[in-house]
Amino acid sequence: MEEQFEVNSVQVFDFKAFVFRTISYWKWFVLALIIGFYIVYQQNIRKEFPYTLDASITVQDDKNPLFTSNTSLVFNYGGISGKVQEVLLNLKSRKHHEKVVDSLDLYLSYYKQGRFYKTDIYGATPFKFVGLDSAYQVIDHPIKIAFLDQSSFELSFDLEDTQNVTAQNFKNKKLKTIAVNTPTYSKTYKFNEYINLPFFKGSVVKNDNIAVAKGQEFFIQYTNFNATVSSFANNYVVINQQSSPLLVNRLTNKNKAKIVDYINTSVFILERDQLQRKNQYAINTVAFIDKQLARVKGQVNRKADSLNNFKRSNKIFNIESESTLLSSKIESYNDQKEALNQSLLSYDLLKNYLLTSQDFTSFPAPALQGIDDSNITAGISKIVSLSIQKSTLESSVRDNVSVFGDLNNQIASLKNVMLENITSVKTNIGYQLQSINSKIYSTESEFSTLPENQQKLEAIEREYLLSQSTYNLYLAKRGEADLIKASNISDIILIEPAKDIGQGRNAVNLNIRYVFAAIAALLPIVLLSFIITFFDNKVHAPSDLDKLAKIPLLGVVGKNDTENNLAVFNKPKSAVAEAFRAVRSSLQFIYKKHELEGTKTVMVTSSVSGEGKTFCSINIASVFALSGKKTVLVGLDLRKPKIFGDFDIDNTIGAVNYLIGQKPLQDVVQKTKVAHLDVITSGPIPPNPSELLIGKQMDQFIDELKANYDYIVLDTPPVGLVADALELIEYADASLYVVRQDYTKKEMLSLINDKHKKGEVKNISFLYNFYDQKGKYGYGYGYGYGYGAYGNGYHENLDEKQSLLSRIKSIFIK
């Protein structure tokens, strides 16, 4: 069964063509690469790379004696790990960074103009700008300071035709817009002289420790406070290994002095805030005890006055011996009563702490000593646990998150339960006090046998001693609180502060930017090549014909570099001439294969105009004539005649005149300067060219030509435009279908392929024209058809020697 072959209706991407096309653009890639590398180089030398420094701190467990041994184990919920997480969240919080930025005035920057960029000179400024606290200062616009001498400077700015500027008050952090009358300003000031502009108020104070040359220029610039905080917070990293109390604070910035100050100030503020929080416990306790001392002191004074007055009025200074035993019993009862009162005081302190304090992460010892009720102890443990959870979340979660509501509700519920338990315990203590008071009353009744004055004296002394004991208890507690406050230290220990010890800038792999530049240079070329290849429907190589049709390839002809189409005649030793000789040999092989005798006829056609059909016809006829064979070239493209121009002959009389019976054959034949080669031009353009080519007169025309010539070459119209060539194919012993490289469209071959497949066209072959071994893609497919195999010594040199400039231009422009 005959193999069916047709042009694919579905386009298949030609990967090989894509590769060769991409390679052919190497010149543009090199140019883009040079430009890209130059841009990257300029960017690299203009880029200021930052520094990275760090400081190490450790978080210690609380060792303050405020937390007693029996309570620290219960209420230090989460241990050191929970405290580390709390510190970690504080260091990352925006509130903390706002304090640091505000403390160092980092919203005000000082710059010095370098070769490619402004350099931050924080820490080495020859002057300082002291801004008015309540003033609004312009932000995001540099103010230029040029030193004139040791006592004066020029202040100037250029707002670039801005009508309004944004200014900020760095005391209350508010913003406002200020109208600008003149966008440019320049004025000379003395150092320490007050500058009063609508959006810039303050004075410049000179630093005498740093010498500055005359005319040296500096810049100062305010930046939005919130933007400054965000910038530092985003570059501030806290590193913590799991279960480790060590925290590494790391900051990246373009100024090392600024990094050192920022990190160390951050640690200092953290220590200060943490210590203030610890001291607040003692402060609250002292305030409560002071109130109680003021109350009890009045009672003690009144009892002492009463005792002294009674003794003076009754002249009693010693108690009788008979009352010694009763007094000892009453003293024992009073000791028990004092212990109960001390417990009652502890519960009052705890109750007051619960009612007045907002933070329950730790409880002060005065509020816990003497508390032995298990329910209250368990409640304290739970409320401490919830408070630590809340404290940990405060640094990382918004205030309105529902989890805070849940924690607050739980803490409030526990407080209510504990307050009820405290009330219950106090009631029980009250019952015990009533019992002891009853015993005291019973013992005192035994004094009835003693003298009346002695009994009164005993009663007054007991009241005095009880008040004095209570006062001493409060006084001792206050001393404890003062001692704790004085001995408090921060749980944050600075192990290694941030320090400038000559560290270099961060190592950056700049070579990767050149890699990206190479990719950026290659990518558009590859993309362009892909798009062109995908939409390209032209024939670019002889191998394309094998994929498009089952018609054999007879020969390959190179580019014509001569002034006209007479390539074989003008340059008989050229590669093009050798290619046509190869075509002649192939045609003779076809004639021999089909055992043709006598005159041989060759028809040359193509798909459309411009493919070199006439060029091939002329040179095929020329190679036959140069071999000594009598040859005639017949121009049958009646609609668009061309042959006469190349031979410099007249087209007024031609084949049309013969076909309409106007002229005999000998009148339409014209001699040429090529030996053995005659030409019959098409003649005047007729109104009915198709009818002329299929009439009986055409048969007679061919017969007469065969009687007079060895070879007949028919130059016919393109089959893609008119059907004339298909009508003439019956007169041809061999037909050549010209395909031009980078010109003929692939779909144009479907018509002739279909005719050949149906058997309507026989003895037809492709003639590949205008072949360039480097071709469309810059590199060939490895074919050596026609002329590519001959050495330079055989062929004539068709190229004139070019100048160096011309050769350079030819690399990029063809």
> Mean pLDDT of all residues in the chain?
82
The pLDDT value given to residue 801: 46
Q: Are residues 662 and 793 in the same domain?
A: yes
Tell me what the mean pLDDT of segment 250-272 comes to. 92
pLDDT value for 368: 64
Examine the domain organization and report whether 565 and 481 are in the same domain: no
Instruction: For the chain, count helices (H), then strands (E).
Output: 24, 24
Q: Which residues pair with 600 in a beta bridge?
A: 711
The pLDDT of residue 399 is 54
- Cα atoms found within 13 Å of the Cα of residue 34, Cβ hemisphere only: 5
Are 327 and 302 in the same domain?
yes
Say if residue 541 is in the same domain as residue 529. Answer: no
Dist. CA 319–CA 325, nearest whole Å = 11
Amino acid at 22: T
Q: Is 246 within a domain? A: no
Task: Tell me what the mean pLDDT of segment 140-153 comes to.
Answer: 91
| Residue 315 three-state SS | coil
d(CA 590, CA 585): 9
Amino acid at residue number 691: E
Asked whether residue 176 is domain-assigned, the answer is no
**Closest to 577 measured CA to CA, from 619, 613, 617, 618:** 619
What's the rounded mean pLDDT across residues 157-170? Answer: 86
Whether residues 683 and 763 fall in one domain:
yes
Let me know if residue 192 belongs to a domain.
no
Same domain, 691 and 574: yes
Give the C-alpha separation, 497 to 571, whole Å: 89
Pair (376, 291) in one structural domain = yes
Quote the strand ranges of 672-749, DSSP E: 677-680, 711-715, 734-740
pLDDT reading at 303 higher than 80: no
Rounded to the nearest 10°, the torsion over CA 393, 394, 399, 402 is: 20
Q: Which residue has the tokens 């004025």?
A: 187
Q: Which residues of 469-504 are buried (b: 16+ CB within 10 A; e: fewer)?
A: bbbebbeebbebbeebbeebebbbebeebbeeeeee
Count the Cβ atoms, other than its own, within 10 Å of residue 12.
7
More confident of the two residues 814 and 251: 251
Average pLDDT over residues 518-525: 91
Residue 807 is assigned to a structural domain of this protein: yes
Residue 729 has pLDDT above 60, yes or no: yes
The answer to whether position 218 is within a domain reads no
For residue 633, give both structure tokens.
Answer: 């070239």
Q: Is 80 exceeded by the pLDDT of residue 459? A: no
Domain membership of residue 9 (yes or no) is no
Average pLDDT over residues 506-522: 84
Q: What gap in Å lies between CA 24 and CA 814, rounded to an integer?
A: 12
Give CA 155 to chain center in angstroms: 38
Q: Does the pLDDT value for residue 785 go beyond 50? A: no
Query: What is the token pair recorded at 589?
Result: 């092989």
Q: Is the pLDDT of residue 211 over 50?
A: yes
Domain termination residue (choose one: 466, 496, 526): 496
> Is residue 737 pLDDT above 80, yes or no?
yes
Of the given ranges (312-321, 607-616, 718-727), which has the lowest mean pLDDT? 312-321
Domain that holds residue 287: 273-496
Looking at the fold, whether 470 and 520 belong to one and the same domain comes out as: no
- Say how many domains are in the chain: 3
Reference 22, options 515, 534, 512; nearest CA is 534
Same domain, 348 and 374: yes
Which one-letter DSSP state was computed for residue 1? -
Which of 653, 660, 661, 663 is closest to 683 using CA atoms? 653
Q: How far apart are CA 517 and CA 196, in angstroms?
A: 50
Output the pLDDT for position 453.
63
CATH number, residue 582: 3.40.50.300
Provide the pLDDT for residue 7: 47
Task: Give the whole-angstrom CA distance, residue 128 versus residue 114.
Answer: 20
Q: Please report the pLDDT score of residue 238 as a whole number.
A: 92
Per the model's pLDDT, the better-predicted residue between 201 and 309 turns out to be: 201
Round to whole Å and give the CA distance between 439 and 330.
8
Same structural domain for residues 359 and 398? yes
Cβ contact 724:693 at 8 Å: yes
| Rounded Cα–Cα distance for residues 185 and 183 (Å) | 7
Within a domain: residue 1?
no
Mean pLDDT of 311-318: 60
pLDDT of residue 788: 38
φ, ψ at 401 (rounded to 5°): -70, 145
Query: Residue 314: is its pLDDT beyond 90?
Result: no
Q: Which of 128-132, 300-304, 399-403, 717-721 has the highest mean pLDDT?
A: 128-132
Contact 217, 148 (CB under 8 A): no
Tens digits of per-residue pLDDT, 591-628?
Answer: 998 888 899 999 999 989 899 999 999 999 999 999 99
Q: Comparing 620 with 118, which gets the higher pLDDT?
A: 620
The pair of structure tokens assigned to 604 is 């040359």
Do 326 and 474 belong to one domain? yes
Confidence of residue 653 (pLDDT cuts 50, 70, 90): very high
Asked if 678 contacts 671 with a C-beta cutoff of 8 angstroms, the reply is yes
Report the distance separating Cα 490 and Cα 510, nearest Å.
45
Same domain, 490 and 350: yes
Residue range 794-805: mean pLDDT, rounded = 47
Helix H or strand E encompassing 187: strand 184-190
Confidence of residue 741 (pLDDT cuts 50, 70, 90): very high
- For position 81, what pLDDT does the model report? 66
Residue 256 belongs to some domain of the structure: no
Domain boundary among 496, 524, 545: 496
- Whole-number pLDDT of residue 339: 82
Question: 108-113 and 217-222: which strand pairing?
Answer: antiparallel
* pLDDT beyond 80 at 69: no
How big is the chain, counted in residues? Answer: 814
